[in-house]
Amino acid sequence: MGSDRSDLPESLCLVGFMGSGKSTVGRLLAERLQWTFIDLDDRIETEAGKSVSEIFAEDGERAFREIETRIGREVVGREHTVLATGGGWGAVPGRVAELPATVATIWLQVSPELAVDRIRRQAPVRPLLSGTSDPLSEARKLLDKRRPQYEAAGLHVNTSGREVTEVVSEILKHIRSGHRTRPS
């Protein structure tokens, strides 16, 4: 029937900039696949006992990145799991490219303009953009720097102007058709 589950990868990993919809898309994808959903930032907050912005403010970005790296390593690639990472996780050089082929990596693309607009209207506070007087130019700079790392993902999906259900359908169609969305 074209949806042979044996074609599916073992797990999905969503990467991309803040405001690209990784958590929302990931939750719905997991529901559709009847897989487990893991949000990396939620895991970090649970373990730290405080919010991401509190970690940044009280312990610094470096401490946050250390926890993110450690917990990310624990959860990435878990079987039948959709992992929504934070925007900085997939921005580390080599991290996406070096994942095993059993992990299908998906870059949710968003323009800096739309990202800033979504972030302004949505929780949680993003410490990297909230502390600047010009979030748009900061987002542009950050995205330019991160793009080469996000590009290593096996599937690139544009989220601009699209409903969550549309983005999820595109990803499901792609992985069910046997495209293994792995880094090339």
Binding mask 39-58 toward ligand S3P (x if CB under 6 A, else -) reads --x----------x------
**Reduced to 3 states, what is the DSSP secondary structure of residue 182?**
coil
CB of 153 to ligand S3P, least distance (A): 14
* Binding range to ligand S3P, per CB under 6 A, among 72-80, 84-92, 130-138, 176-184: 84-92
How would you class 5 by CB atoms within 10 Å of its CB: exposed for 0-12, middle for 13-18, buried for 19 or more? exposed
CB of 42 to ligand S3P, least distance (A): 10
Torsion angles phi and psi, residue 104, rounded to 5: -85, 125
Binding mask 115-154 toward ligand S3P (x if CB under 6 A, else -) reads -----------xxx--------------------------
Binding-site member from 14, 15, 18, 103 for ligand S3P (CB under 6 A): 18
CB of 7 to ligand S3P, least distance (A): 29
CB of 177 to ligand S3P, least distance (A): 28
CB of 127 to ligand S3P, least distance (A): 5
* Binding range to ligand S3P, per CB under 6 A, among 1-9, 69-77, 82-90, 151-159: 82-90
| Peptide bond just before 148 cis, omega within 30 deg | no
Two structure tokens written together for 36: 């487990």
Alpha-carbon gap, residue 44 to 13, rounded angstroms: 16
Crossing angle (nearest 10°) for helices 40-48 and 61-75: 120
Q: Comparing C-alpha atoms, which of 166, 173, 170, 148 is closest to residue 96? A: 148
